[in-house]
Amino acid sequence: MSQGKTALVITAHPGDFVWRAGGAIALHARKGYRVKIACLSYGERGESQWAWKTAGVKLEDVKAQRKAEAEEAARILGAEIEFFDAGDYPLRGTEAILDRLIDIYREEKPAFVLTHSLNDPYNVDHPEATRLAQEARIIAQAAGHKPDPTRAYAAPPVFLFEPHQPEQCDFKPNVILNIDDVWEVKRKAFEVLAAQKHLWEYYTRVALNRGVQGGRNSGRAMTYGEAYQRLFPMILEELA
Amino acid sequence: MSQGKTALVITAHPGDFVWRAGGAIALHARKGYRVKIACLSYGERGESQWAWKTAGVKLEDVKAQRKAEAEEAARILGAEIEFFDAGDYPLRGTEAILDRLIDIYREEKPAFVLTHSLNDPYNVDHPEATRLAQEARIIAQAAGHKPDPTRAYAAPPVFLFEPHQPEQCDFKPNVILNIDDVWEVKRKAFEVLAAQKHLWEYYTRVALNRGVQGGRNSGRAMTYGEAYQRLFPMILEELA
Amino acid sequence: MSQGKTALVITAHPGDFVWRAGGAIALHARKGYRVKIACLSYGERGESQWAWKTAGVKLEDVKAQRKAEAEEAARILGAEIEFFDAGDYPLRGTEAILDRLIDIYREEKPAFVLTHSLNDPYNVDHPEATRLAQEARIIAQAAGHKPDPTRAYAAPPVFLFEPHQPEQCDFKPNVILNIDDVWEVKRKAFEVLAAQKHLWEYYTRVALNRGVQGGRNSGRAMTYGEAYQRLFPMILEELA
Amino acid sequence: MSQGKTALVITAHPGDFVWRAGGAIALHARKGYRVKIACLSYGERGESQWAWKTAGVKLEDVKAQRKAEAEEAARILGAEIEFFDAGDYPLRGTEAILDRLIDIYREEKPAFVLTHSLNDPYNVDHPEATRLAQEARIIAQAAGHKPDPTRAYAAPPVFLFEPHQPEQCDFKPNVILNIDDVWEVKRKAFEVLAAQKHLWEYYTRVALNRGVQGGRNSGRAMTYGEAYQRLFPMILEELA
Amino acid sequence: MSQGKTALVITAHPGDFVWRAGGAIALHARKGYRVKIACLSYGERGESQWAWKTAGVKLEDVKAQRKAEAEEAARILGAEIEFFDAGDYPLRGTEAILDRLIDIYREEKPAFVLTHSLNDPYNVDHPEATRLAQEARIIAQAAGHKPDPTRAYAAPPVFLFEPHQPEQCDFKPNVILNIDDVWEVKRKAFEVLAAQKHLWEYYTRVALNRGVQGGRNSGRAMTYGEAYQRLFPMILEELA
Amino acid sequence: MSQGKTALVITAHPGDFVWRAGGAIALHARKGYRVKIACLSYGERGESQWAWKTAGVKLEDVKAQRKAEAEEAARILGAEIEFFDAGDYPLRGTEAILDRLIDIYREEKPAFVLTHSLNDPYNVDHPEATRLAQEARIIAQAAGHKPDPTRAYAAPPVFLFEPHQPEQCDFKPNVILNIDDVWEVKRKAFEVLAAQKHLWEYYTRVALNRGVQGGRNSGRAMTYGEAYQRLFPMILEELA
């Protein structure tokens, strides 16, 4: 049933798709989805603090190192990854980036999209990634943008992934994804991010606590969860 | 699959379950659910304006008339109905009402619950019904309330149905239910409420416009919709 | 044009109608409205701190003193006043109080109602007064409450008056009433509340600052304002 | 009394002023207002889906067709229209567009302004139009922008018109305009938008349902309504 | 400096003061505060699921067991505890409970108060405890409640403790308390709650993750944190 | 203890730091802080209405006059001031401005930052200043921005100062600073702004009313206050 389905992840930095959406990526990859990650920057300036502790390190070297990590993490999770090299801190969307994202929406016709929370007062790049994800999703619907009368396209549902400090970002999860089946894969992807070892345990605890909450909300046991905030109404044929 | 499943509707007045949830009731009944309506009042004082236009009409007569209508509408929709006769305008929950609702949650183990919006500045009975529905759902989980170690119970998801003026009630739908298959049944139930003929067209328009919105949000054609606001996170095994 | 129009003020304590709505009361009285104040308590326990500084003072004496003040302030402002003696700190609405308020709505058919803000974390009586005002307004519409087929009644618009610390009460004014023409009357009513002299200047400053804001929002000079938050949509025949 | 008054409508696309504000435009035109529409784009790429179903259609042809429609609709409604040709999907405000809007505010000294909702997660152009409308309104007050000591100007009230899915856009109407007197005109303007026939009925239903709500909120019968959200406090001399 | 200071904790059930405020209690006790816990119920029906797994268990036995646990946990944390035996699921505040709480506020003159979040859709008792805590704090200020002209009293600041699912309860922490110095004490108190062993790890993870967030927000290393939402403005003499 | 501490004020226009933060500036200067004001524009076009009443006045002259005023006000308050000449109405942040602000954060390592509210529907420059303040604070943390492995930097707390119409700007103060000790200095700084004499009294009233609120919230007498909204959680070692 997931034959030919695609999932799209639009992320500001490499770490984000691992910590925040690694479970969803691995889970859907295992179910047979193609999962495509649009990685807008390498997080080279603001998410690579350790790399800059060496005097004289070069930007290009930091980028190359983060790129390699991101590719390895994507491989472990079972996803494809496309880099945009948009720069970080601040990440600024350009018309070219937007244009490529629009094309991706149309090419992939994703079954759903994962991206950042709408607000993040700790991080200027996260809401910019979300803005780009939302604008591209909308513009992809415009028949007059690169017109092609044969094209069919419908805007997919959007799920926001959990930010580092959810309450400060006005993040209110309405979905908890059970990632028990792929937890080991997600955890393995953590280990690619060797310099952020302190976050391995942090996000393991987040997954365990979301798992407990998932159990409470469903009455069905589960261990590891990923929280999401779904935008846009769901259209259902049955409520349970 | 819906063999043995139950849906529970907790409604302040008879009209509400017809206008606001008639599609969900008919649809799930058709799918094989037992649908149980807990009808807290007959709406005898505040939702029966026409009946009181005759001088000297008696409260008991109005109640009997509304009861008959509610039973007929439930029958058309395919649901069972239990009356609480709690009074309306104002409906005031008592411990006895709460107690009976707790029992119903435990007896029925509903797959989901439908009730009113959290706020309604136009109607004092609607949020009171919601309060009762929420409290009973919570207390039903308390092992020490009428203890029985053999009992299994998990609190079901709750969907709020659309109030008359949604924005004024801070109602934000995140679910649109496709009710095309049962529209004719819902419409037929409208016609039981003969004295509120002006609302037949109002709620037909609501259903048509929610249908258009459902089509926009899903990319799949549909004609008639019912909007709901789901409380509590969904626990999912797949996002699409 | 205001011939025969009534305004209704539902207030928890005597001070409130002076500080918060004295301008509106005096202004509409001058325009020919009957203004009726429903004064739910005498504020005898929680709004009469000075009176209790004398050892041995009796509750009835404090109530009598506050009643006299409230009558005098109402007289100065040009309003009628009806006391409910509901008690304060805490004020608890009873079915009898609610019933009398419903009757007042129906007798007076007020052109508008003034009451407290929806929330007030500093004062438990204020939101209780608002709850009573809202419930009575709604129940007054129920044809089956004390039925009378000849009765005509439509629920009036509601304006919330400004609490002591507006932002903490989630009070967002959308109306500023120009009270320049009656400022001296309002100020004179302040002086009846001799024991709260420090508040005379406080609420004079509030009026002056709302006046400046009124000027900024309208482009028309004004000096003294009273801020209100209107609930329920306005129905207009022209937007300017 | 409306002699010499102007109303200003700032709209992202041609359809918007018809569906969302056609009643207000026709009503105020009939009352003697000059109504000026600032139409920021032709909606050529994102609001002209049908036009692009023909292979090889040219952008300029689509724009010309939409321009003709917009002019015809404005004519029917009784308004003037000025086009900005800012492009759509995405509409991006430039300093030149902003500058022209500032001039219009100053030239027209509108009695009120109509524009889009503050948020619209379905449409990137709508909030951009609102941003431009708000910024131009503010900057028009700056004496040092194109200084002229003889100029008088006060910022007008702003009304946001109803978006397609109001709750998803955090749109909370606080004004319902009675458009009964001009309904036939608004409906006639619908018919200019021949390719969007399905929306004729959608927005007729919206008008009828807002009409019912208008009747409920005012106690006065009305049939057709347009909902608006007024920003900025109203300055009043009387509350009823 | 904390000589003679008191802290007051108003809690619905015994577990709550351990999981949610155990660190604050132990920390202030160690600093020399008297810490007083007002424990409104024993959590006998709704927070003692394990106890009811034995057929025939008696309510009084469950209460006695929970009381013993609560006393032991309070002892470990260094606090006094007073029981109200108000019942749980649902906990309903009575005038007698309110009255006793008012007396406690006046007797203890607490430097601060800890209680539950304002909302909790999973638990009907938590917001009821908060309501009682807020009302008692307010009424304690009323000079006419049990008048005594010699009494001095000022309402203390209120901190809400973290609920089980913070985002669903609209809980937004603005304070993180560093509890490193007393973590072992808090953890020891966990172990009194032997039947809820699964929660020991859950709330250890919560403490660790709030600790990481505390470090991020302050730039100073810390390991264990407790999150609070402070109500009411702080009055400061210096901002850093 | 405040030896070597710095406070940073990021302000859109000269008037803002006087009316909104003059007390905090003078108070911390007196306590020994270096206080640095980053004044993004001279307010030459939009906050200098009087200057433009003379025909033929030149922009450069208005800027020079406002600069002199700002320097004099800063001198009176005890602060240093750096001008950015970014232009006003609209103020548009450039990468150069952002870059200089980042450097200031790193050079000054401020103990706290004061800036505008997050929203201001009356003023397009205020939220733009806040955006710049927030982005610079975040980017200053990025090790790869002008890397220097020896640098230590932690993002400081941010306090938003009170806008002209707080409720319309969604400003909710959670801090009131007691400025009694420096009130005369703040008032003296008002007098530098000779052309805005009407605002002297307005902001004196604001200070007095915030002072009354400060007294109410703390139970300690104070006369003059400045309200702030603190962003980001506080990390505390003690709650009282």
Q: Which residue has the tokens 């689509």?
A: D62
Mean pLDDT of D114-119: 98
Query: pLDDT of F6-28, one tens digit each?
Result: 999 999 999 999 999 999 999 99
Give yes or no for residue A1 having a pLDDT over 50: no
Are C124 and E134 in contact (CB < 8 Å)? Answer: yes
Check residue D1 and give its pLDDT.
47
Query: pLDDT of B126-177, one tens digit each?
Result: 999 999 999 999 999 999 999 999 999 999 999 999 999 999 999 999 999 9
Mean pLDDT of A173-182: 98
Q: Express as a percent the part of chain D with pLDDT over 90.
A: 94
Question: Contact B216/B168 with Cβ under 8 angstroms?
Answer: no
> Which residues of C are less than 8 Å from E235 in CB distance?
none
Among C112, C175, C236, whose Cβ lies nearest the Cβ of D175?
A: C236
Check residue F3 and give its pLDDT.
67
CA-based nearest distance E214→chain C, Å:
26
Query: pLDDT of A106-160, one tens digit each?
Result: 999 999 999 999 999 999 999 999 999 999 999 999 999 999 999 999 999 999 9
C31: nearest CA partner in chain D? D238
> Which residues of D are less than 8 Å from C213 in CB distance?
233
Check residue C196 and give its pLDDT.
87
Residue D215 near chain B (CB below 8 Å) = no
Q: What is the pTM of this model?
A: 0.97
Residue D166 near chain B (CB below 8 Å) = yes
Among D122, D205, D213, whose Cβ lies nearest the Cβ of B209?
A: D205
Confidence band, pLDDT 50/70/90 cuts, at residue A98:
very high
Are B89 and C134 in contact (CB < 8 Å)? Answer: no
Sequence-distant contacts of C218-223: CB under 8 A, at least 24 apart:
C218/D154, C218/D235, C219/D154, C219/D155, C220/D154, C220/D235, C222/C178, C222/C180, C222/D235, C223/C180, C223/C183
Nearest to B129 by CA among B164, B167, B87: B87
Record the tokens describing residue C224, joined without a space: 């003294």
Give yes or no for residue C211 having a pLDDT over 50: yes
Give yes or no for residue B184 having a pLDDT over 70: yes
Any bridge partners for residue D112, and if so which? Answer: D7
Amino acid identity, position D120: D
The Cα E42–Cα D48 span in angstroms is 65
Quickly list DSSP for chain A: --TT-EEEEEESSHHHHHHTTHHHHHHHHHTT-EEEEEE----TTTS-GGGGGSTT--HHHHHHHHHHHHHHHHHHHT-EEEE----SSS----HHHHHHHHHHHHHH--SEEEE--S--TT-SHHHHHHHHHHHHHHHTT-TTSS--TT----PPPEEEEP-SSGGGGT----EEEE-GGGHHHHHHHHTT-GGGHHHHHHHHHHHHHHHHHHHHHHSS--S-EEEEEEES-EEES---
Among C174, C222, C232, whose Cβ lies nearest the Cβ of D233?
A: C174
Nearest to D211 by CA among D182, D185, D167, D179: D179
Residue B173 near chain A (CB below 8 Å) = yes
Query: pLDDT of A27-70, one tens digit each?
Result: 999 999 999 999 999 999 999 999 999 989 999 999 999 999 99
> Which residues of C are less than 8 Å from E149 in CB distance?
52-55
Check residue C2 and give its pLDDT.
55
Residue B214 near chain A (CB below 8 Å) = yes
Are D122 and B216 in contact (CB < 8 Å)? Answer: yes
Question: Contact C239/D228 with Cβ under 8 angstroms?
Answer: yes
- Cβ-Cβ contacts under 8 Å between A and E: the total is 40
Residue B219 near chain A (CB below 8 Å) = yes
CATH topology of domain A6-163: Rossmann fold (3.40.50)
Query: pLDDT of C88-146, one tens digit each?
Result: 999 999 999 999 999 999 999 999 999 999 999 999 999 999 999 999 999 999 999 99
Nearest to C19 by CA among C100, C116, C123, C135: C116
Give yes or no for residue C1 having a pLDDT over 80: no
Work out the mean pLDDT of chain B and round it to a whole number: 96
Mean pLDDT of D208-226: 97
Q: Looking at residue B162, what DSSP letter applies?
A: P
Nearest to B123 by CA among B55, B229, B50, B41: B41
Q: Given a contact as 3+ CB pairs under 8 Å, which chains touch D?
A: A, B, C, F
Work out the mean pLDDT of chain D and round it to a whole number: 96
Residue F231 near chain A (CB below 8 Å) = yes
Check residue D3 and give its pLDDT.
67
Residue D219 near chain C (CB below 8 Å) = yes
Query: pLDDT of F128-154, one tens digit each?
Result: 999 999 999 999 999 999 999 999 999
Confidence band, pLDDT 50/70/90 cuts, at residue A3:
low
Give yes or no for residue F2 having a pLDDT over 70: no
F141: nearest CA partner in chain A? A46
Q: Does an interface of 3+ CB pairs under 8 Å exist between D and C?
A: yes
> Which of D145, D146, D170, D229 is best to mutate for the F interface (most F CBs within 10 A)?
D145
Are C232 and D217 in contact (CB < 8 Å)? Answer: yes
Check residue F1 and give its pLDDT.
47
B208: nearest CA partner in chain D? D202
Check residue C197 and give its pLDDT.
87
Q: Given a contact as 3+ CB pairs under 8 Å, which chains touch A?
A: B, D, E, F
Record the tokens describing residue D147, joined without a space: 């200084």
Q: Does an interface of 3+ CB pairs under 8 Å exist between E and D?
A: no
Residue C205 near chain F (CB below 8 Å) = yes
Q: Given a contact as 3+ CB pairs under 8 Å, which chains touch C?
A: B, D, E, F
Query: pLDDT of A203-237, one tens digit each?
Result: 999 999 999 999 999 999 999 999 999 999 999 99
Give yes or no for residue B111 having a pLDDT over 50: yes
Check residue F230 and give its pLDDT.
98
Give yes or no for residue F194 having a pLDDT over 90: no
Check residue B36 and give its pLDDT.
98
Q: Which of A178-182, B48-52, C158-162 has the lowest mean pLDDT?
A: B48-52
Residue E166 near chain A (CB below 8 Å) = yes
Check residue E195 and give its pLDDT.
83
ipTM of the complex: 0.95
Check residue E3 and give its pLDDT.
67
Give yes or no for residue B1 having a pLDDT over 70: no
Residue F1 near chain E (CB below 8 Å) = no
Query: pLDDT of C22-79, one tens digit each?
Result: 999 999 999 999 999 999 999 999 999 999 999 899 999 999 999 999 999 999 999 9
Instruction: Flag residues of chain E having pLDDT under 70.
Output: 1-3
> Which residues of F are less than 8 Å from C202 in CB distance?
208-209, 212
The Cα B238–Cα A32 span in angstroms is 12
Give yes or no for residue F165 having a pLDDT over 90: yes
Give yes or no for residue D219 having a pLDDT over 60: yes
